[in-house]
Amino acid sequence: MIKTDILIIGAGPTGLFAVFEAGLLKLKCHLIDALPQPGGQCAEIYPKKPIYDIPGYPEVLAGDLVDNLMKQIEPFEPTFTLGERAETIEKLDDGTFIVTTNKGTKHHAPIVAIAGGLGSFEPRKPPIQNLANYEDKGVEYIIRDPEMYRNKKVVIAGGGDSALDWSIFLTDVASEVTLVHRRNEFRGALDSVEKVQELKNLGKINLITPAEITAIHGEQHVTAVEVTKKGEAPITLETDHFVPLFGLAPKLGPIADWGLEIEKNAIKVDNTLDYQTNIPGIYAIGDVNTYPGKLKLILCGFHEATLMCQSAYQRIFPDKRYVLKYTTVSGIDGFDGTRKEAPKAVVKAIN
């Protein structure tokens, strides 16, 4: 069981900055994120795109903002459960919470701060009838264990990096690799595109473009898929696996069933006070929350994280008096023993 003071769900910019504000109050944080790396959308969707409205930064790349935040919170030693989705929450008699992920990792904390953005990133599923019936029966949206495909026939669909890279990789594992894409053009890295061309010429990848998978066949397990080229009759292709790789899209997911008030696909919070939800002890900050006048901006998430931490402190230590301190005045005492502070003025007489 992982124990912490504030359990943050979502390691995007808002969740990361919450670690800093909590650290100033000597509260420890642990973050859960469905993605394998911290940074949320900034890292997953647009790391190389500039952001112009972070106060004090005339221009900053989204990926650099994440790197900077990671550096800023380093003294407060945040810990992470990455690549796992927060699935269930349980409120104990003492008012604390246990959050369990889809892989069964349990986390215990008195405060839960949901900084989940637009939700956890899930694979995009193509609209093919009965697709769901074949999940884990030959249809996989993520390749977790390539060995599963050893000496099997695999059909991959998609036109991005992951479709290209896995097609290349599986040529050494699977008995037959087919790549199906709706266009003749691919948008992946040039190296990958050229490699696929080379493997196609060698007959190691069966490339079918422009085409789409339009049906899946099989009784208990996938045995074939139907490939349709525009304006032509579908052909049936025998296969053991069908792997659609169409990228990820955020979905609010299991959090929607936690008994929180939801409005417009977001969690309602009290914006007059501390961004707490209808369940005391659970807060929602950043893009995942909603209140009158809500703006989905990183800078607003930072503000919400700050107020949330002050309220969390009061909740954990109801009897302690505290006033806000300025980092310029008090410096920063890291949990790792480091200290940052403004240089002291030196008094020295001039003779």
Partner 1 sequence: MSQDINIKITDRDGVTHEVVAPTDMAMNLMEVVRSYELAPEGTIGICGGMAMCASCQCYVHSDHKLPEMSVDEDMMLAEAFYVEDNSRLGCQIQMTPELEGLEVELAPES
Least distance between partner 1 and beta carbon 141 (Å): 14
247 binds partner 1 (CB under 8 A): yes
212: closest CA among 235, 182, 192? 182
Q: Which is nearer to partner 1, 2 or 131 (CB)?
A: 131
Nearer to partner 1, 119 or 138 (CB): 119
Using alpha carbons, list the distances in angstroms from residue 165 to 118, 175, 219: 27, 17, 30
Residue 328 Cβ, how far from partner 1 at the closest point, in Å?
34
Does residue number 189 form part of the binding site for partner 1 (CB under 8 A)?
no
Q: Is 187 among the residues that bind partner 1 (CB under 8 A)?
A: yes
The SS3 call for residue 219 is: coil
Counting residues that bind partner 1 (by CB under 8 A) gives: 26
Nearer to partner 1, 153 or 181 (CB): 181
DSSP-derived letter for residue 165 is H
Contacts of 305 (CB under 8 A, 6+ apart): 14, 15, 17, 18, 21, 113, 115, 285, 286
Among 118, 155, 224, 225, binds partner 1 (CB under 8 A): 118
**Which parts of 264-322 fold into alpha helices (H)?**
298-316
Here the tokens at position 125 are: 């599923």
Q: How far is the CB of 125 from partner 1 (least distance, A)?
A: 8
Using DSSP bridges, classify how beta strands 6-9 and 29-33 pair: parallel, antiparallel or unpaired.
parallel
Residue 265 as a binder of partner 1 (CB under 8 A): the answer is: yes
Give me the DSSP letters along 31-42: EEESSSSSSHHH
Give me the least distance between CB of 11 and partner 1, in Å please.
18
Q: Can the peptide bond before residue 210 be classed as cis, meaning omega within 30 degrees of 0?
A: yes
Taking CB under 8 A as the binding criterion, the range among 67-75, 103-111, 123-131, 198-206 that sits at the site for partner 1 is: 123-131
CB nearer to partner 1: pick between 127 and 343: 127
297, 318 contact by CB (below 8 A)? no
Q: Which residues bind partner 1 (CB under 8 A)?
A: 41, 45-46, 49, 118-119, 124, 126-127, 158-160, 181-183, 185, 187, 246-247, 249-250, 252, 264-266, 290
